Structure 1
């Protein structure tokens, strides 16, 4: 019997408690998306997870199972810079250059796009915008509230709104004739336009986050019967996410440790990935130059006055460690030593002693996280490693391991196994 403190959620609220959706669509988001994914994980529904999965004994949906909503969630955090890029392309500025090259390289659930003005590829940076919002939410908004979606896209990317056409965001279904949202639209696909709405890297999905957390609640044993605790070994055994990243192994091993201690878990509300922190303390203005050819003079390094206007949070609530989107741009009228408009490339990193030449330099200072809520209990029986069933008469494809071209390619879908 549940304690008097335990209760069910009335619904799963939108990420960050965003107010984009009307009430009926908030309910639909809860039932048809979050609960659908969670129930599919719990029941091993082959429409949600791959065939051969077992039902989950230590994962629950809070709208179906009572739990103490006042208990503080357990947080899992990781650095946002792509670990696969840093491992494969060591040294600065090479790994910054590679991470800026493509959104597909940005695989730690934080993506960004850089605007350099007229000199699109080599000029000083005018703005960098970061987001950790999953594609499913934006696709739902575009499908159910098209006008609100278009207004929001233009508002968030206001410097480019006059160039946007409504047709840029939709494709025509040749069978039904309906217009269908295109997540890879020109305004949300590239790392060099300065425009962005949501994550697009194939592994960076909200459903993948739920899948990793859910499948990580399964306690695993190796062929010798020993309980598996190593983060990368757990991923390979349970086949969720990708080894070698900061995010997936950290999520999986941390959640699995809670499960081994007996906890039954769910994703804490509101279900989403969040920017937990962005450390801006190393940054100052160089009011003289954007060049690293000579070290800046101390008298030219000035504190960033009104940092909230330069580091402008546009969605989510960073004060609650639930940031979703931030735009870094120097407001018009901020002048330098020679009367010039200051740019993002006038920002100087005192810690690394370089100017900002790449958006990826900021990624070093972001912390991303996901939280779990739970109930105390007993650990379930350890399971053997998951083995996807092979189709009869078909040689199974080699499983993608994320290392063919590290950070620059991915599975053609979410990271769900």
Structure 2
């Protein structure tokens, strides 16, 4: 039996291969983030929903031994946005264009109930919101409108936010190598309402903008565009942990097991029906644990290195004008291919391009897939399989009872969902609004404080509204939270001061909310606050050629 010592970066990538100390800092910071998401996923959302947790059949391999009897299993799905096909079954002639450029028609069908609903804009929104299968792409065209290159990514945004915390200069370097040499550090920085680069008031370092102009939309242009990492709001690794853990709960309806992919995703309310990814992942994980009354459950987790990965495209339907094999035009930029010595292994491709070299007298647009010229990047995406790896072991000793449908509580328990310097919090919300993203779609990493530190003007987001009499405590001790005021938009934001005792123990903290008008709970929010931990960047690694403003209230 073995307990994992540390979570690995996606695809075991070593972005600081030339700097061991920096790589160790990155590894530690990344592993700490994964640990928080795994711990939060084991609990689930028990504050606002019924039958959503806890989830004992999902485990954290840093805390639980993975026995020799465990097995790894790949879960696969297609990278083309499945909801286009599910919601608009009679619009097949438009699917490819919509997958590249967005969906102009409103949604009028509830896929869970099969009933008609009032027209509503297609969501997820955002620059690439509809590319919601954990694979996004950006297309380069020549002056004649033909595709010359398509870049694909499945890198999660949380990794890039962590990498930025360790060294913004490394993020810039990779952007320049991968997206465009013209990228400047200031292009990647978050800005305030005055357009000035915003410095995190706790670290003094510029804040990263995951929706920056070089990682925005589906068109790659000389001065903007590209796909460095995922931006669609569902395409986060934290959300994937929650989905996988939620799927371990056995479900029943009128004492009959719920097992189909579509019913499970609607019944448990993880992800969205119609996607290729979430229903497939959920059904597979649910089958892995396969609840049997009175017998110990298997336990499952995401295999290290956790991530969602592209597989090498199926090139069997490709035909180039001079019969050059299409695989010659596919380049893995970041990540790695499967190990043929490991049975059942998967490719762990993070970023790749499909482009024809200049010496050829034709372009990507002259290549055909199934006798159709490549007019859209989505045609290539349709030949890409996505995959993740799950680890399962039997006879875990865990037991649980099947639960019914997950529903919203009429009176939810108070729950803290974010903790962030106020200036940074507001700037991210403004960026989401500017990009037509849902509020709080940009991930919030744990706030890191040091023993003896006191910080004010911190935004604490309480789900729902701002009720009177709220009290916030840290059950593990060593940190106190004082309410200084509230902010009206978005609703639920308290302005607080956090004080860390000089002898506070190093480690993560939870935050417990208590509101007299709401039902009490003993479950504190996980993953929002940590004391100590890896030393992250406190200075910029390259000059920012723009005016800079330190974050204030």
Deviations 1:72-122 (A, max 9, x none): 411111111111112316455411110000421211111100011345xxx
Compute the displacement of 1:283 (Å): 1.3
Q: Quick check: 66-75 or 94-103, which moved more?
A: 66-75
Q: Residue 207 of structure 2 aligns to a residue in which SS?
A: strand
Aligned to 1:266: 301
Deviations 1:155-192 (A, max 9, x none): 012xx312x22111111447837521111111111101
Alignment length, in residue pairs? 364
Aligned to 2:214: 187
Alignment of 1:151 with 2:151, yes or no, is no
Uncovered stretches (5+) of structure 1, i.e. residues with no partner: 1-5, 287-301, 336-341, 395-408
**Mapping 1:160-175, distance limit 5 Å:** 160-162=180-182, 164-171=183-190, 172-173=197-198
Aligned to 1:16: 11
Alignment of 1:373 with 2:378, yes or no, is no
Aligned to 1:333: 359
The normalised TM-score by structure 1 is 0.80
Aligned to 1:84: 83
**Distance in 1, Cα, partners of 2:240 & 2:83:** 19
Alignment of 1:117 with 2:142, yes or no, is yes
Alignment of 1:218 with 2:249, yes or no, is yes
Aligned to 2:447: none
> Alignment partner for residue 280 of structure 1, among 311, 315, 320?
315
**Distance in 1, Cα, partners of 2:58 & 2:303:** 12
| Change over 3 Å in CA distance of 1:250–1:8 after alignment to 2 | same
Alignment of 1:344 with 2:344, yes or no, is no
| Change over 3 Å in CA distance of 1:24–1:208 after alignment to 2 | same
**Mapping 1:393-404, distance limit 5 Å:** none
Q: Which has the higher helix share?
A: 1
What do you get for the CA RMSD once the two structures are aligned? Answer: 2.7
**Distance in 2, Cα, partners of 1:128 & 1:187:** 14
**Distance in 2, Cα, partners of 1:174 & 1:146:** 12
Checking the alignment, whether the CA contact within 8 Å between 2:48 and 2:409 is kept in structure 1 is no
The normalised TM-score by structure 2 is 0.61
Q: Which has the higher strand share?
A: 2
Q: Quick check: 92-101 or 207-216, which moved more?
A: 92-101
**Distance in 2, Cα, partners of 1:202 & 1:355:** 31
Checking the alignment, whether the CA contact within 8 Å between 2:332 and 2:352 is kept in structure 1 is yes
Q: Residue 273 of structure 2 aligns to a residue in which SS?
A: coil
Checking the alignment, whether the CA contact within 8 Å between 1:275 and 1:318 is kept in structure 2 is no
Compute the displacement of 1:318 (Å): 2.6
Q: Residue 171 of structure 2 aligns to a residue in which SS?
A: helix
Alignment of 1:312 with 2:331, yes or no, is yes
**Distance in 1, Cα, partners of 2:92 & 2:271:** 28
Checking the alignment, whether the CA contact within 8 Å between 1:126 and 1:345 is kept in structure 2 is yes
Deviations 1:125-151 (A, max 9, x none): 110011111111111112221111100
Q: Residue 278 of structure 2 aligns to a residue in which SS?
A: helix
Checking the alignment, whether the CA contact within 8 Å between 1:61 and 1:266 is kept in structure 2 is yes
Checking the alignment, whether the CA contact within 8 Å between 1:108 and 1:246 is kept in structure 2 is yes
Q: Quick check: 181-190 or 16-25, which moved more?
A: 16-25
Q: Residue 319 of structure 1 aligns to a residue in which SS?
A: coil
Deviations 1:277-335 (A, max 9, x none): 4111221212xxxxxxxxxxxxxxx3225x55411111111334221211011112123
Structure scoring higher RCO (CA < 8 A, sep ≥ 6) equals 1
Deviations 1:196-251 (A, max 9, x none): 111111111111111111110011122x2222112222222222111111111111
Checking the alignment, whether the CA contact within 8 Å between 1:109 and 1:204 is kept in structure 2 is yes
**Distance in 1, Cα, partners of 2:81 & 2:26:** 34
**Distance in 2, Cα, partners of 1:50 & 1:136:** 25
